Structure 1
Amino acid sequence: MPASDLSLKTTLGPLTLNNPFLLASGPPTASGEQIRRAFRLGWAGAVTKTIVPDTMEILDVSPRFSSWKDEKAGLLGFENIELASKRDVPYWTSEIAAIRKEFPDRVLIASIMAPGDPAEWQDLAGTVQDAGADAIELNVSCPHGMPERGTGAVIGQHPDLVASLTRAVRKAVTVPLIVKLTPGVTDILPVAKAAVDSGADMLAAINTVPCLMGIDLETLEPLPSVAGHSTYGGYSGPAVKPIGLRIVSQIARELPVPALGIGGISCWEDAAEYIAAGASAVQVCTAVMWNGAGIIRDMNAGLSDYLARKHFAGVGELRGRALSRIGTHAALSAGVFSAATIGSPERCTSCGRCVVACRDGGYHAISLADRKVVIDAARCDGCSLCSMVCPEGVIVMRGFPGRGSELHSQGTLP
């Protein structure tokens, strides 16, 4: 099927999406104007910046962002210590109603948070539901600022608190209920199960990862520095994708509810990985902050091309396709040995990185002779470190049937 004929329409529980891409709750959804612009660009949905009761004072500090970049200013990791929405509840109820009227084919989810009293969560949930929100996302996972006030991740780290809060809000609303999970726990499943058993229709994972971005070695100020001081913040960006993929796959394997994948999604490939790991849709925030909401065009086009190339009829056929391949370490096959081999010798620049890596982090199986890489097959243990550090892709791993020790003794490795 040509990509141009392929629809990206998909489902998220009872909700229908034009494509699997939603803006996550955060700075890109801090106003109705931003959400409208995103919808005009092609986003299928958005989650409002977290709405709190008007009795909660929200005062952001400056600066409140810090980043880890590569040498070309490409984003690797991002920290924020920004709080919930500074806009009041009447603003949001008005905007939710107006956006729903203007974009009836898009999904608008209200993210909410309140102090520890479940009654305040119930009141706020009812208010945004009555305004027209398609679903409600409970933010029990913000890792900075809000836990000091007895809310956010201080709730999400305890299954019993998640259960009681979810149960309370479930009694107050009829729209789909989403619980957004924190990665700051030892095991995600007890918290996730508590949410589902108490009435959550869907789960969103992950919120940002608790972190300290760094220390300025000249001033010895922690980052981001607010008049010389800082606090622990929420880590996002490409570096957290492996954590998000792990948690989403665990949810998809064990629980019968849709999962929204969040964390490190910067391109269509990242989204496709989340969907293959079991996500029904994905939410994007940091990449939009870094590159603008217009990235949706390439995301939609890239995912369409990929699905067409793989002969998938739609997003649903990709969902969960990798789950059967994820299991325990004990279940992994020891019947195939992968050895390092020279795949493209003409590309080798004799940089020596593979030699150093194998000598000090591997099995001393690689050397340079006449400025050419030589691999001692009898020493190679198949760890793949050399192929990871090779900047030119010269070294590749080649699989052989049998265990490494057997193949070494038989002399059957090249």
Structure 2
Amino acid sequence: MPAPAPSLETTVGPLALKNPFLLASGPPTTSGERIRHAFRLGWAGAVTKTIVPDTMEIRDVSPRFATWKDGNSGLLGFENIELVSKHEESYWVSEIAATREEYPDRILVASIMASPDPREWQELACTVQDAGADAIELNVSCPHGMPERGVGAAIGQHPDLVREVTRAVRQVARVPLIVKLTPNVTEILPIAEAAVDGGADILAAINTVQCLMGIDLETLEPRPSVAGFGTYGGYSGPAIKPVGLRIVSQIARELPVPLIGIGGISRWQDAAEYIAAGASAIQVCTAVMWEGAGIIRGMNEGLSGYLSRKHFTGVGALRGRALERIGTHAALSRDRRLFASRRFPERCTSCGRCVTACRDGGYHAVSMAGGEVVIATERCDGCSLCSHVCPEGVIVMLPGA
């Protein structure tokens, strides 16, 4: 009799989800209609685009996106300078209620942001929870536009301010409280600890990384260019996954708090990595903007297949499984050595990239003789550079004799 299929259901603190995938706060959740569309496709939850008090004027610029793409126009990195929701509070009150009524089995999180005045945060929190939000996410991490007004990352980069805002909302919140952290700090743990100390039930990490996407060398205008001028924006997309994984794992190793992983998630494999690093659920934004909300089908199918292949009973069985293998540099073994080896010589095209890389960035252990790659094992230091630059996967790292 075949084993039962692994469960994709997961819990994040007091929240129960049908699968670990939520839409992150951003353009894909800019309206109730978009959120309901995502729920129809299979997303387990969504975080509204950040709601602000009606007294805070929000006006976007155009254009407000820039990209870094590979040679096939695939996305590597994405910058945005878009602000928070332009909808009034009354709109969100109505849409939260309508969405909860139509999809009572999905998790709808209200993202909120206010001035440093704790009373504004409390009032907004009461508004969204009374409308029916299942949880509240505090946006103290937006890296562009809003910090100039003293909000967003201007709050989230200071433990005392994070603690104060979180504690204020905790006093009035009847629903689970999530704090979304910024990666734009030197050390994440003091910020995470302050949020937990203030009463956060769940931490979400990370928001976007502050960046400057590039300079147009013909016009010398920054990208994106708004009438010839630009500013620093929020960087997302596949390139920031290593930053998100680092921060999630650091928090998971030190704090007993449920985590939602965010950053660079575009495939089920990315989600599985975040879960193995300690996350209980995942938020996705940029990949949905790039490929559409329908990616949820492949993510659910892929993750389910992986769990089955690895004989995990469900998401919970994978959670944190990699943490015991992540430690200090000093604790890493100096005894086990790997060396470069031509494992698949039939694939070699004699391009010479490995030779150049090892000569100028390694230990001069790789050369070309008679049109074939030759590796001098006695010179190889096991750095693995040659295996990474080889476009055909000819060279692999193997234990020495």
Say if 2:395 is the partner of 1:398: no
Distance in 1, matches of 2:19 and 2:46, equals 12
Q: Secondary structure at the match of 1:229?
A: coil
Residue 2 of structure 1: CA displacement? Answer: 6.4
Normalised TM-score (structure 1): 0.96
Question: Is 2:179 the counterpart of 1:179?
Answer: yes
The answer (yes or no) to whether the contact 2:364–2:379 under 8 Å persists in 1 is: yes
Give the AA of the match of 2:191: V
Distance of 1:155 and 1:386 partners within structure 2 = 44
Structure 1 partner of 2:385: 385
Shift of 1:7: 2.4
Alignment coverage as a number of residue pairs: 401
Aligned counterpart, 1:107: 107
Summarize the alignment of residues 33-52 of structure 1 with structure 2, pairs less than 5 Å apart.
Answer: 33-52=33-52
**Residue of structure 2 in register with 1:409 after alignment:** none
Read off the aligned partner of 1:321 and give its amino acid letter: R
Q: In structure 1, what residue type is equivalent to 2:129?
A: Q
1:219-275 deviations in Å (ceiling 9; x for gaps): 000010000000000000000000000000011111111110000000000000000
Encode CA deviations 1:281-323: one digit per residue, 9 max, x unaligned: 0000000000000000000000000000000000000000000
The root-mean-square deviation of aligned C-alpha atoms, in Å, is 1.0
Change (3 A) 1:4 1:267: farther
Q: Which whole-Å deviations, capped at 9, do the CAs of 1:116-138 have from their partners, x for residues lacking one?
A: 11100000001101011000000
* Structure-2 separation of matches of 1:39 and 1:3: 29
Name the CA distance, whole Å, in 2 between partners of 1:310 and 1:399. Answer: 25
- Give the aligned partner of residue 147 of structure 1: 147
Summarize deviations over 1:315-340 as a string: whole Å, max 9, x none: 00000000000000000011100100
State how far apart, in whole Å, the 1-side matches of 2:3 and 2:116 are: 48
Cα distance in 1 between the residues matched to 2:105 and 2:9: 11
Corresponding residue number in structure 1 for 2:276 = 276
* Equivalent residue runs for 1:120-159 within 5 Å: 120-159=120-159
Deviation of 1:71 after TM superposition, in Å, equals: 1.2
How many angstroms apart in 1 are the aligned matches of 2:98 and 2:9?
A: 24
Write the distance in 2 (CA, Å) between the matches of 1:353 and 1:88. 56
Q: 1:405: which partner in 2?
A: none
Deviation at 1:72, TM superposition (A): 1.0
> What CA distance in whole angstroms lies between the structure 2 residues aligned with 1:370 and 1:78?
44
| Alignment CA distance shift 1:4-1:264 (3 Å) | farther
* Residues 356-401 of structure 1: CA deviation (Å, up to 9, x unaligned): 000000000000111111000111000000000000000000124x
What is the identity percentage for the equivalent residue pairs of Structure 1 and Structure 2?
Answer: 78
Q: CA deviation at 1:189?
A: 0.1
Q: Secondary structure at the match of 2:377?
A: coil
Deviation per CA, 1:188-215: give whole Å up to 9, x if none: 0000000001100010000000000000
Corresponding residue number in structure 2 for 1:74: 74
Alpha-carbon distance between aligned partners in 2 of 1:15 and 1:171, rounded to the nearest angstrom: 19
1:20 paired residue number: 20
Q: CA deviation at 1:4?
A: 7.9
Give the secondary structure class of the aligned counterpart of 1:79: strand
Q: Contact 2:279–2:319 at 8 Å: present in 1 too?
A: yes
Listed as ranges, the gaps of 5+ residues in structure 2 are none
Paired residues for 1:82-121 under 5 Å: 82-121=82-121
- Structure 2 CA distance, aligned partners of 1:35 and 1:2? 36
Deviation at 1:15, TM superposition (A): 1.0
SS at match of 1:142: coil
Is the Cα–Cα contact under 8 Å of residues 6 and 312 in structure 2 kept in the other structure? Answer: no
Q: Partner of 1:338 in structure 2?
A: 338
Match for residue 56 of structure 2?
Answer: 56
1:376 matched to which residue of 2?
A: 376
What TM-score, normalized to structure 2?
0.99
* Aligned residue type for 1:295: I
Match of 2:329 in 1: 329
Aligned residue in 2 for 1:230 = 230
Preserved contact between residue 3 and residue 307 of structure 1 (Cα < 8 Å) = no
1:34-65, CA deviations, whole angstroms, 9 ceiling, x for partnerless residues?
00000000000000000000000000000000
**Residue identity in the other structure for 1:115:** S
**Aligned-partner Cα distance in 1 for 2:43–2:2:** 22
- The 1-side partners of 2:43 and 2:357 are apart by 44
SS at match of 2:337: strand
Q: Which amino acid aligns with 1:15?
A: L
Match for residue 316 of structure 2?
316
Give the 3-state SS of the residue equivalent to 1:331 in structure 2: coil
SS at match of 1:190: helix
Query: Structure 1: which amino acid aligns with 2:329?
Result: H
- Alpha-carbon distance, 1:5 to partner: 2.8
Runs of 4+ in 1 over 6 A off after TM superposition: 1-4
* CA–CA distance in structure 1, aligned partners of residues 197 and 14 of structure 2: 18
Which residue in 2 is equivalent to 1:410?
none
- Give the structure 2 partner of residue 406 of structure 1: none
Give yes or no for contact 1:140–1:155 (8 Å, CA) kept in 2: yes
Q: How does 1:296-315 map to 2 (within 5 A)?
A: 296-315=296-315
